[in-house]
Structure formats: C-alpha cells, structure tokens
Structure 1
Amino acid sequence: MFRAVDAFQERFSVKVRVIRVWEHPERRNPSQLYSFDMILMDEEGTKMEATCLNRVLPQFRPSLVEKKCLIIRNPTIGFNNSTYRYVDNQNRLCFQGTTEVIPCEDIGGSPYGFDFLSFADLLNSNGISNSTVDVIGYLVRSFPKETVTNKLTGKQAVKVTIEISDLEGRTVFLTLWDQYCDKVLSFFESIKGKNIHAIIILQFGKVKWWNGVAYVNNSYTVSRLFCNHDCPEVDEFRNRQ
C-alpha cells in the first residue's frame, strides 16, 4: 500500500492499477522523450504519480497500459517536488533498472480511478489542494468556441466553456482547450436534435478562479474527458436523479 511506503524504504512491492499514462518530452528538445509518466492507484484507492525515465523504459513499456493491474517490485520513492501535482500525494514512485513489473489479478475499484469532488466543496474551496479534481454533471449549456492567441509566442489555441450541474442544481464551469474542445464539440454535434441528457466527466481537471467564479480547466494532456461514457459511475449518477 502506498500509505505504508516512504523515501527511506528499500526493497518493497506494491500492487497497483495504471490509471493514466503520458509522455514527458525533453525540455530543451521536445522531439526527444525524457520520461514516461503515469498515475498509479493501489488497492485502497490511494494514488501516486510515477516516472519511468527513457533509459529504462523499454523493459517496462509493454506493461504500462491504462487499466492494467501490476505488482511493482523494488522501485524507489522520492519526494514529488513538482509545483503542479496531478494527485494529492507528496511522493513519487520511480522505476529503476532493478525494478520488476509483474501483471496480476484485478485489484478492484474503478478502472478509471474516479474520485469526484462535490460541487458544494468545490464552490466553497473545500477539499482543493495543489492537485487536480474529478467532476461529473449534467450539461446545462455551452458557450461559443473561441480562438486565443498567446501574446508572447503568437501560438493560437481554441477553447470552449460549458456549464454542468450536479443533482442539487449547483453549477460549475468547465473550460476545455484544444483537443478537449474538439472532442466535446464533436460530441455535441453527434447528439444534435436528439432528446439526450448529456453527462460530462472531467478527470484530473485544474480549478482556477476568475472574478469570483470557479472554472475547471483540463490539465494539459493529462486530463480525461468523458461524454455520456458507458461506465458504472455515469449509470449511478443518472439513476440518482
């Protein structure tokens, strides 16, 4: 279990599910891979970020697949000193050349590792730390798509803001950029003219406040966006109405 390990522990094993994976490029040479990063979840639902440097990645890459359950033997634990954490955990797991990765039986729990923050807590700034949040709600409305130009680089990005509601009528705004914007607009087009209540999930979103209003933004390419996804969490939310 993650809660039982720290940076001073040697030769330990953890049983986990791979929740999210992404590539981390070299800062000075973005075309080169620096590391393969991920979010892992143990049997108790505790999450931890993990890093596998490119030099040792080939021996582990086939096993590092989202939803897959693994036993990881002899990794190391270090302090997660990043100013931008994706989970609320001060530690980070690191793969070494001597680390072993073994597929194992399903550890249970959500294959996506959802941990939804209530809108009441979000709007009251409770339960929000230097990490990301998961939110789920019914689509209320969508605002027009916008193109934004970075004044320093001249690079353009597209975004769309949507409003979602919980079952008590509280609403939260989501701002979705680039590929997330394209995905949700494509979904809207697919249900246009149909009597469908859309349920939206944004996982690993970052809360930002603007003029006293909370907006949940996607976190680079680590966030996941689900639109009427076929999963138990969506069914449960719909059945609670």
Structure 2
Amino acid sequence: MDKNRVTFLNNLDWRSKLFTIKVNVLRLWIPVNPKREGETLGIEMVVMDEQGTRMQATVSSKFMKKHEILLNEHECYYIYKSQLSVIMSNLKHFEKEHAISLNFDTSVKKCENFYGSVYCIRLVSFESIKAGEVDVKYRLDEWSEPEVTKIKMGKDSKYMNMQLLDEEGIKLKCTLWDEYCDQMFGYIQSHKEEVDVVLLVQFGSFYKYKGKIMLSNAFQITRLFINPDIEEIRSFRTKFVEKICKTSSNGQKSIGSSGNISLADDFLFKHPFSNFLDITLLDKPCELIVHGLIMSVDDKDDWYYVGCDQCNRKVETTFVIEEAEDGAEEPK
C-alpha cells in the first residue's frame, strides 16, 4: 500500500483496482435480509475523501469477517486494492454510478492524519430541496405520537409525523420510521421542557405526496442530529431566534406539547409585535400585540368599577339598613 500515492474519489478508474484511497467513514450500517430473519447482507458505508467527495462503499457478506473488525463509523482509513462496481439497486444515494467494493484482496489501514470535515454536513435552501438535495436543518415545530402500520412485507412498522420550520418560516412535513421514530420520540420524552429544538437530517429522502414535498429517512443511511453542540446547530439556532422570534412569538412551546397550536399561540404567531407609536397611527380596527416593559404598578385603586347593567355607567354602592320583623337590623 503506497500511502504517498492516494487517488481522490473523483479520479477513480473502474477498469483498475490498484489504487489507494484515503477516506473518512461517514456512515456504516449492516443491512439484514427482510425475507430471512437474522441473515445479514454485508456492510454498507458512505465514505468521503479530503476533497469532500462522497461515495457509497460495500463489503459483501462473504468478506465481512475480514473487514468488519477494522471498519468503524467516524474513523479514517487507507484502502488499497478495492474495486468499483456498478450500483444495481434503485437506492442510489449519490450521483456516482459506481460504489467502492472491498473484497478479499483489499487491504485496510487506519489513518491518523485525515484533513477534512468530520460529518460532511451540507446545508441547503428550500429551493435546493426541490432540486433533490438531502441535507437540511429545521426547527421541530409540531409532532404526533408514534403509530404502527403494515408495510409491503406484511410486518408492523412504527412511524411518527412532524412539522418542521426553517429560519425563513417555511414549513415541511416529515415522517420518521422505526429506529428513527424511536430516536426522535425518545429525545422528546426525555427533553419535554426544551424549546427551539433543532433537527438536522443528513442523507434524508424527499418525495412528493399529493403535490407536496415531504421529508423522510432513507432506510439506514439517514442520520439525525438532534440539538447537538456543533457549529451548524448553534449558528442556525442563533439565526432562528433573532429572525423568527423577533417578529413573532412563533407559538413558542416546549417539545413536550404535541398536536395543534393553541388559539393563543396561533394569535401570537399571526400577529407581529407593535409599539406604542404604532397604536397612535391606527386608522381602523385591528388586532395587534404591544411589546412593552412594565415600569411600575399602581395598586392604590382597583382596575375595575361596578357598572349598571342597563346603561353601562359607573355606579356607587350604598348600604341601606332596614328594621326586620324581630327588631334586628338587616343591611341591603
């Protein structure tokens, strides 16, 4: 293995397997055969080189014993004598036509000097989502309890629906299945008091349902970042609080509250804050919210008065004392 002659992923030649690549394993999972319980189908990976190019990589089940003990997610490796194989499955996650296949002749050595992104997060706009991009961050806005349904294989599958909100106020429907449903719902259950929970979905899947774009996890390749302390999340949260919450309360509530927005939250979300000067300029009836600071409280007089039911004017109360039949005095 010649570590000094590394080939970048964009320069690989499918006709040769005498190349050395230097990659970071972004994702690693072991799929199982849905038709045969307990049977594994090999190892699936997403790898990235120092130029930021990403590709699918596979280890077939017959070579798992040789390689699975060496390969781990979030670690970097030199890989020598792998080969490129055409992706036959419809589940092609990147534009590349080939995947890197590790076979019996392949050598894998751990690398300690990889210069590149740890997670390779690529954030995109809503317009880019329509074009097929898959990395996007959103604030969790609403969610529903997990439900169970039957899938094509006849097995039960758990899912939960959510509504996500980005920093521009654009909403997106999202459905998470099985272990992703468990991961998200588990976080919600253990962080019920949190507000502004940011969900970053990496390697997600977008599809159209009844003319609307929906987001879902893409089998086991998807990764959820739920409020981690990383730069992408911190930056988004700061922008969200400054931009969205500056113009409306946005129905701020903890993620422990699922379901529809309350009437109060709906009112606060739809009506921007106004100041006292805005009130003096009003020329027609309207609903608004005044955001002000209480400087002092006058507690000397009551804030209400007794009024007449007929004319709605203020009335003064008096006590009339009449003599009862037994000689006692009764106030009225």
TM-score strictly above 0.5:
yes
- Distance in structure 2 (CA, Å) of the matches to 1:5 and 1:154: 41
Alignment of 1:184-203 (within 5 A): 184-194=184-194, 196-203=195-202
Output one character per residue of 1:84-115: Cα deviation in whole Å (capped at 9) or x when no partner: 11233211001121111111124233322222
Shift of 1:28: 5.3
Q: Residue type of the partner of 2:98?
A: N
More strand by share: 1
Shift of 1:72: 0.6
Would you say the 8 A contact 1:6–1:78 is kept in 2? no
Shift of 1:214: 1.1
The TM-score with structure 1 as length reference comes to 0.88
Q: Percent identity?
A: 27
Aligned to 1:223: 222
User: Is structure 2 residue 182 aligned with structure 1 residue 177?
Assistant: no
Q: Residue type of the partner of 1:232?
A: E
Quick one: which of 24, 41, 64 aligns to 1:57? 64
Aligned to 1:20: 27
Would you say the 8 A contact 1:120–1:170 is kept in 2? no
Sort the Cα spacing of 1:35 and 1:198 in 2 relative to 1 into closer, same or farther, 3 A. Answer: same
74-83 or 152-161: bigger deviation: 152-161
- Distance in structure 1 (CA, Å) of the matches to 2:115 and 2:163: 32
- Distance in structure 2 (CA, Å) of the matches to 1:167 and 1:181: 24
Sort the Cα spacing of 1:213 and 1:21 in 2 relative to 1 into closer, same or farther, 3 A. Answer: same
Shift of 1:154: 4.3
Q: Residue type of the partner of 2:144?
A: F
140-149 or 91-100: bigger deviation: 140-149
Aligned to 2:15: 8
Output one character per residue of 1:133-189: Cα deviation in whole Å (capped at 9) or x when no partner: 122111111134332234x65422221111222221222221011221122122122
Sort the Cα spacing of 1:32 and 1:186 in 2 relative to 1 into closer, same or farther, 3 A. Answer: closer
Sort the Cα spacing of 1:10 and 1:144 in 2 relative to 1 into closer, same or farther, 3 A. Answer: closer
Aligned to 1:42: 49
Aligned to 2:256: none
Output one character per residue of 1:186-236: Cα deviation in whole Å (capped at 9) or x when no partner: 212222234x21000122111111111111111122211221012222123
Sort the Cα spacing of 1:138 and 1:108 in 2 relative to 1 into closer, same or farther, 3 A. Answer: farther
- Distance in structure 2 (CA, Å) of the matches to 1:144 and 1:29: 30
205-214 or 184-193: bigger deviation: 184-193
Q: Residue type of the partner of 2:196?
A: H
Asked which structure has the greater RCO (Cα within 8 Å, sep 6+), the reply is: 1
Q: Residue type of the partner of 2:74?
A: K
Aligned to 2:138: 137
Q: Residue type of the partner of 2:103?
A: Q
Q: List alignment gaps of at least 5 residues for structure 2.
A: 1-7, 241-332
SS of residue in 2 equivalent to 1:115: coil
Aligned to 2:77: 70
Q: Residue type of the partner of 2:140?
A: L
- Distance in structure 2 (CA, Å) of the matches to 1:181 and 1:46: 29
- Distance in structure 2 (CA, Å) of the matches to 1:8 and 1:113: 28
Q: Residue type of the partner of 1:202?
A: V
| CA root-mean-square deviation | 2.0
SS of residue in 2 equivalent to 1:230: coil
Q: List alignment gaps of at least 5 residues for structure 1.
A: none
Shift of 1:26: 4.4
